[in-house]
Amino acid sequence: MAEMPIPKVIMVVDDSQTVRNIMALILHRLGYQSVRVRSAMEALTTLTELVPDLIFLDITLPGMDGLDVCKVIKENQRTKHVPVVMLSGSDQVFDKVMGRLAGAADYVTKPFEPDTIRQCVETHCGRGLRVREGLWKKRRR
């Protein structure tokens, strides 16, 4: 009997509940499992129990910021291979450069479109379980 495929796990670190909820819906529709946390400390604690396939990490977090969290992730033997995508409300080159220096693989500017997230996820951890050709292709206008 064929085994049930296991969805890839994507961690979303953002202090905005709405952003976490939107990301969860996007990832769920695409067939990924999302684990969502709201702070740097919560993220680092979770990473001691779970190594996700990809991490979306907000730059602006209360307390320790996303860039520092990214550095910690990249210095840890267990998690250094996990691609990190920085999320930011700013589109400034400086932030992107800082993200790269911290070890981030990519950068997504908020507000974002679901397709941007899809492309980013597929680039860094492959397609989800629920690949539906044409999903989100048809627009209302």
Select from 7, 64, 72, 100 the one that contacts other proteins (CB under 8 A).
7
Closest alpha carbon to 58 in 76, 42, 77? 42
**Minimum CB distance to other proteins, residue 23 (Å):** 9
**Minimum CB distance to other proteins, residue 140 (Å):** 5
Judged by CB under 8 A, does residue 44 bind other proteins? no
Select from 41, 46, 64, 96 the one that contacts other proteins (CB under 8 A).
46
Output b/e per residue, 50-63; b: 16+ Cβ within 10 A.
eebbbbbbbbbbee
d(CA 43, CA 1): 37
Select from 2, 6, 93, 94 the one that contacts other proteins (CB under 8 A).
6
Site for other proteins in 83-122 (CB under 8 A): 89, 110-114
| Phi, psi angle pair for 49, to nearest 5° | -105, -25
Judged by CB under 8 A, does residue 74 bind other proteins? no
Helices (H), 3-137: 17-30, 40-47, 66-75, 93-102, 114-125
State the residues that interact with other proteins by CB under 8 A. 4, 6-7, 9, 16-22, 24-29, 32-37, 42, 46, 49-50, 89, 110-114, 135-136, 138-141
